[in-house]
Structure 1
Amino acid sequence: MTSSVARFAPFVLLMAGGFLLAGCSGSDVSRAFGLERDSPDEYTVTTRAPLSMPPSEALAVPHSDAARPQDESPRLQALETLSPNVALQGASG
C-alpha cells in the first residue's frame, strides 16, 4: 500500500501545483491551460489583399489618403460573397 502511494505522490503533487499556479493567473483554469479558445467574430474580420513586390525598386512617394491598388471595392467583395459565378463573369467580360 505504501509503495502505490509513493508511486503516485509526485504525479498528484505536480497536478496540484499546476492547478494552484493556474488559479493565480486571474482567469479561468480552462483558459489558462488552453482548453478554451476565443473564436474571432465573423462580422469584424476583414480580408486584405496579399502584399506584392513592386516591378522596380524606384518606389513612388506614398500618399496617406490613397487606396491600395490591389484592394477590391466593398461592392465587388459583397457581390463575390453573394454570388461567386456572377462576379467571375463580370470580371472576365
Structure 2
Amino acid sequence: MTENSEGLEEAVRSFIQSRFREAVSIKSIDLQDDTDQDGLPILQVRIVFESGSETLPPANEVAGLVRRLRPTLEEFRVEGFPILSFIAAGEHAATT
C-alpha cells in the first residue's frame, strides 16, 4: 500500500458511504496498489456491498465518484488513479 496508508481504508469507506447514504450498505473495502497496461500507478478499490441492497446508486453518481474521491486520496498522497469495482457480498463470498 502507499507510504501514508494508515487510515486510508477508513477514509475511503467513509467517503463512499457518505455519497450513497442508505442506497448501498458497504460490507468491506479492499485497496490494492497496482499498475495499468502502460505501467502507470492505479489503486484498485473493491467495494463489497450487502447482497440485499436492491437499490444501487444512479449510474451518474457512480461515474462521478472517481472525480470526487481524488481529493481524499490526495490527502494520503495516493498517486494511483482509482479503479472502482462494486461486488455483491454473495458474489464475493463465492470467489474467495
TM-score normalised per structure 1: 0.19
**Larger of the two Rg values belongs to structure:** 1
Per residue, is there more strand in 1 or in 2? 2
Looking at both structures, which has the greater relative contact order when contacts are Cα pairs under 8 Å and sequence separation is at least 6? 2
TM-score normalised per structure 2: 0.19
Per residue, is there more helix in 1 or in 2? 1
